[in-house]
């Protein structure tokens, strides 16, 4: 928003109009998509994935992943 010279509320409205989702929801969706790729395409630990994606700890990562995907990161990795 700052780089575009607008306040956050205006940015949020413009972003939502352009993408169909709020900036926070978009950011979370992108993180979860990246987590899915890392879980399937690497043997990185959950702690390493959490750190790479900017989560404060593996528990926060696992909780958000489960809330959005419907299963734990471990279960997702095993299933794929």
Q: For the segment 34-79, what is each residue's pLDDT rounded down to a tens digit?
A: 999 999 999 999 999 999 999 999 999 999 999 999 999 999 999 9
Can you tell me whether residue 5 is helix, strand or coil?
coil
What pLDDT shows up at residue 38? 98
* Under 8 Å between Cβ of 53 and 60: no
- Other Cβ atoms closer than 10 A to 19: 12
- Which distant-in-sequence residues (6+ apart) come within 8 Å of 25 by Cβ? none
- Which distant-in-sequence residues (6+ apart) come within 8 Å of 54 by Cβ? 31
pLDDT at 27 > cutoff 90:
yes
Instruction: Record the pTM.
Output: 0.86
* 1 — pLDDT class (breaks 50, 70, 90): confident
């Amino acid at each position: 928003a700052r780089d575009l010279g607008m306040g956050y509320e205006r940015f949020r409205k413009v972003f939502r109009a352009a993408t169909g989702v709020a900036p926070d929801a978009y950011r979370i969706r992108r993180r979860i998509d990246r987590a899915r790729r890392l879980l399937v395409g690497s043997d990185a630990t959950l702690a390493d994935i959490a750190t790479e994606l900017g989560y404060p700890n593996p528990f926060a990562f696992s909780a958000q992943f489960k809330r959005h995907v419907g299963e734990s990161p471990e279960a997702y990795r095993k299933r794929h």
